[in-house]
């Protein structure tokens, strides 16, 4: 077959292998165990051999479902996207509430599975996964029924998603560093304050920013920052909707 006609290498584009006998493992078992491994040990610990050991299964059983580690990651990423909640479209005027709920659910999913931020740029065509496509379809519906044209709805979904992923990536990296220290976030933050206050002394605005945060719960600071930024994004989208007559 000519190279240009080869399907794009992805678990979503490769025809599933047909077997007459019942495989020893299901795809669901493989994905669930891989997700547990990633959550407990991180992306660097994932290998087909280690996964096989956890499943007490040989390579043949796994390769009947996934051709390689890249396909496995595609499946697990889509599994994570299946955790994200999107309210069904109802009152078009509630598009902000629906979008906020979905954005918060996406952020929570990324913080539950912080390894995901390290693979987003290299998971093939993960956007063809059924959970991710279902999420996108539902969000497009929310925006279109609110009055956005379909192209504008697509841009709105992309904008909100980019904001959430950007914020969640920073948070996940921060929390991963803290987890490696063996301390909780508040302990880590309190220990860091002396160094922070010394570092910002030459910068009066930064000094005032950090002084205002001193004594606050660290997780509350992150939540407030995320919610404020999301409100700004939604304010911009609402202004655009009004200008276009939605």
Residue with tokens 């007559």: 245
**CA 212 to CA 141: how far, in whole Å?**
40
Quote the strand ranges of 33-165, DSSP E: none
**CA 51 to CA 46: how far, in whole Å?**
7
Residue 2, token pair as written in the block: 């000519």
**CA 66 to CA 74: how far, in whole Å?**
10
Q: Is residue 159 within a helix (H) or strand (E), and if so which, with residue range?
A: helix 150-181
Query: Do residues 118 and 73 touch, judged by C-beta distance below 8 A?
Result: no
Residue 228, token pair as written in the block: 């404020």
Whose CA is closest to 86, among 72, 64, 69, 101? 101
Residue 59, token pair as written in the block: 């390579």
- Kindly list the structural domains of the chain, giving each domain's residue range(s) and its CATH number in brackets, ordered by start: 3-80 (1.10.10.60), 87-243 (1.10.357.10)
**CA 75 to CA 79: how far, in whole Å?**
6
pLDDT for the residue numbered 86 = 80
Query: Do residues 51 and 63 touch, judged by C-beta distance below 8 A?
Result: no
pLDDT for the residue numbered 191 = 87
pLDDT for the residue numbered 6 = 47
Residues 6+ apart with CB under 8 A from 86: 98, 101, 102, 105, 135, 138, 139, 142
pLDDT tens for the chain, residues 1 to 246 = 444 554 567 877 776 665 555 556 888 999 999 999 999 998 888 888 889 888 887 666 777 788 788 889 999 999 999 999 887 766 677 899 999 999 999 999 999 999 988 887 665 566 788 999 999 999 999 999 999 999 999 999 999 999 999 999 999 888 888 888 888 888 888 888 889 999 999 999 999 998 998 888 888 999 999 999 999 999 999 999 998 865
pLDDT for the residue numbered 16 = 66
Query: Do residues 244 and 149 touch, judged by C-beta distance below 8 A?
Result: yes
The DSSP letter of residue 148 is: -
pLDDT for the residue numbered 1 = 41
Query: What phi and psi values does residue 59 have, to the nearest 5 degrees?
Result: -60, -35
Q: Return the SS3 of 171.
A: helix
**CA 175 to CA 182: how far, in whole Å?**
11
Query: Do residues 185 and 178 touch, judged by C-beta distance below 8 A?
Result: yes
């Amino acid at each position: 077959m000519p190279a240009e006609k080869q399907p794009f290498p992805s678990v979503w584009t490769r025809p599933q292998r047909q077997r007459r006998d019942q495989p020893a493992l299901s795809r669901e078992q493989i994905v669930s165990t891989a997700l547990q491994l990633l959550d407990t040990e991180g992306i660097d610990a994932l290998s087909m051999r280690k996964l096989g050991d956890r499943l007490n299964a040989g390579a043949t059983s796994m390769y009947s479902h996934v051709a390689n580690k890249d396909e496995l990651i595609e499946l697990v990423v889509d599994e994570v996207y299946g955790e994200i909640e999107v309210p069904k479209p109802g009152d078009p005027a509630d598009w902000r509430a629906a979008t906020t709920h979905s954005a918060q659910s996406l952020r929570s999913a990324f913080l539950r599975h912080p390894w995901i931020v390290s693979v987003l740029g290299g998971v093939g065509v993960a956007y063809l996964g059924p959970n991710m496509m279902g999420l996108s379809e539902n969000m497009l519906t929310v925006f279109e029924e609110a009055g956005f044209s379909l192209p504008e709805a697509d841009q709105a979904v992309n904008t909100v998603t980019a904001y959430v992923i950007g914020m969640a990536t920073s948070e996940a990296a921060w929390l991963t560093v803290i987890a490696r220290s063996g301390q909780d976030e508040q302990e880590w933050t309190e220990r860091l304050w002396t160094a922070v206050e010394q570092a910002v002394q030459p910068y009066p605005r930064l000094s005032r920013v950090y002084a205002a945060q001193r004594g606050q719960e660290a997780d509350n600071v992150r939540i407030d920052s995320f919610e404020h930024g999301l409100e700004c994004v939604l304010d911009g989208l609402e202004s655009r909707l009004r200008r276009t007559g939605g």
